[in-house]
Amino acid sequence: MDKIRILVIGLEEAEVNALKQSLNFNYLMVHYDLVPQVKLIEGQLYVESSSIPGKYLLVNKVIFHGIYKDDLDFITLLAMWNGPCLPNALGMMDLRQRIPGLVRALSVSKFSDIKRGMVIGEQEYNSETEVVAKWGIWHCGEDKNKFNGDWTSTETSVIEEFIDGEAVRIMIVGDKNWQIRLTGDTWLKSIHNEGSWEMEIDQELLLDSTAIAKHFNLQTVGVDYIIGKNGERYLLEVNHIPNVTVFPFVNKAFIEYAGEWMVS
């Protein structure tokens, strides 16, 4: 019997070792910290061997975790392959670029009422109220600026009304879900700051996030919202690769889900 080769990209060594425990002798796992060289040949996916340059190995399943500067072509290739991929490659492709991904997600969410603007390339922008400009590709709290008055973009940016309130993330892994409070010393909030932790889940936000996950066919997703001081809720961003290593309860659920997915 031919062995099933699973390509794992970006997960930390502890997660990779935990996933290996789910596999028997019928499976092989190939792990890369960064995006490897791959080829798609007549519908079959191949990855370059880590030990023999120029030799390519047939891949049957892919687990992809992480955000890399030039990974859109790689994700697009995975989507064209259309093989078993965690998360779903087409969903990742649709959400990978920050601004187009936001536009697609807003068409699904019921919490899409933030007033937004947009500039292309280098342009001057003036706002009489406090707003936030967002640009770039990183989905990780970078490439943002809060301002009022005059501002000049350095690249294509979306500009949205600044909402003073509580930032939260709905995290979904398979059929498990959590609401995470995002914290920070400034107006910028993140899961990585001390104090960020699980909180009581808002069922309306969960329903909204579940609809987004279903629309993009994503098995794992992190959806960020802001809850204004007036109680109104607004979609901020959809993370196609939500970090599964920060919180132990998320990490445990992901290892269990991915372990079952690999052998299904």
Residues whose CB falls within 8 Å of the CB of residue 27, separated by 6 or more in sequence, listed in order: 3, 4, 5, 6, 262, 263
- When pLDDT is cut at 50, 70 and 90, the band that residue 137 belongs to is confident
Structure token pair of residue 154: 């350095």
Please tell me the least confidently modeled range out of 47-51, 120-124, 136-140: 136-140
pLDDT in tens, 188-226: 999 999 899 999 999 999 999 999 999 999 999 999 999
Average pLDDT over every residue of 139-156:
88
Helix H or strand E segment including 254: helix 248-262
Residue 65 has pLDDT above 60, yes or no: yes
**Taking a C-beta distance cutoff of 8 angstroms, is the pair 122, 156 a contact?**
no
* Number of neighbouring beta carbons within 10 Å of residue 39: 11
Q: In angstroms, rounded to a whole number, what is the distance separating the alpha carbons of residues 5 and 13?
A: 18
Q: In which band, very low, low, confident or very high, does the pLDDT at 7 lie, cut at 50, 70 and 90?
A: very high
Evaluate whether 262 touches 20 at the Cβ level (below 8 Å).
no
**pTM of the complete model:** 0.95
pLDDT score of 139 more than 70 = no
Question: What is the arithmetic mean of pLDDT over 71-75?
Answer: 97
Concatenate the DSSP letters of all residues of 101-169 into one string: HHHHHHTT-S-----EEEE-SS-EEEEEEEEEEEESS--SS-SEEEEEEEEE-SS-EEEEE---EEEEE
Q: pLDDT for 251-261, tens place per residue? A: 999 999 999 99
pLDDT at site 138: 72
Contact 147, 130 (CB under 8 A): yes
Q: What pLDDT score was predicted for residue 258? A: 98
The rounded distance, in Å, linking the Cα atoms of 75 and 72 is: 5
